[in-house]
Amino acid sequence: MTDTILLHLRSLSADDPVEAVYYSPASGPRALGRITLADAAMRASGKRVLAVLPATDVLALSLTLPDAASSKLRASLPFALEEQVACDIETQHCALGPRMVDGRWPVRVIARVRLEAWLTLLRAAGIEPQSMVSAADGLREK
């Protein structure tokens, strides 16, 4: 398993610091605290980067979908979401997670413009995230 840098993003300003955690399979997690994106880019070199987006940017849903190949499920996802998303589904990025034990599928929805803004911010600093998740996905159930 590769060393990972987790970056908790809060603002689209390149001047605002991010909360960072370094994880090594050998030594476990180590909080790096609030660091600049430039510092994060230096620390992320050669490591997997996980960007944590504000929960307010990502709509979390779960759907019951028919049994089908994952490619067909992804293709039909916008149609399954149309009635649950208040804005034009074509302007949204929809991500399908692995099927849960209850048979439902987790889905995350974010405006494409907002997703591109986060990616632009990170890439301008020299950071290429391998994964992006919602901060809400890190919450535990009671």
Residues 81-101 have pLDDT tens digits of 767 777 777 888 888 888 888
- Find the radius of gyration of the CA atoms of the chain: 17
Strands (E) in the chain, as ranges, are 4-8, 18-24, 28-35, 48-53, 59-63, 92-96, 105-111, 131-134
Query: Burial level of 17, CB count in 10 A (0-12/13-18/19+)?
Result: middle
Name, in order, each residue with C-beta under 8 angstroms of 59's C-beta and a sequence gap of 6 or more. 85, 108, 109, 110
Per-residue pLDDT, 30: 94
Q: Residues of 74-100 as b/e, b for ≥16 C-beta within 10 angstroms? A: eeebeebbeeebeeebeebebbbeeee
* CA proximity to 95, closest of 69, 122, 68, 132: 132
Token pair for residue 17?
């610091």
Q: Check pLDDT > 90 for residue 33.
A: yes
> What number of residues does the chain have?
142
The pLDDT of 62-90, averaged and rounded, is 73
The pLDDT of 70-82, averaged and rounded, is 71
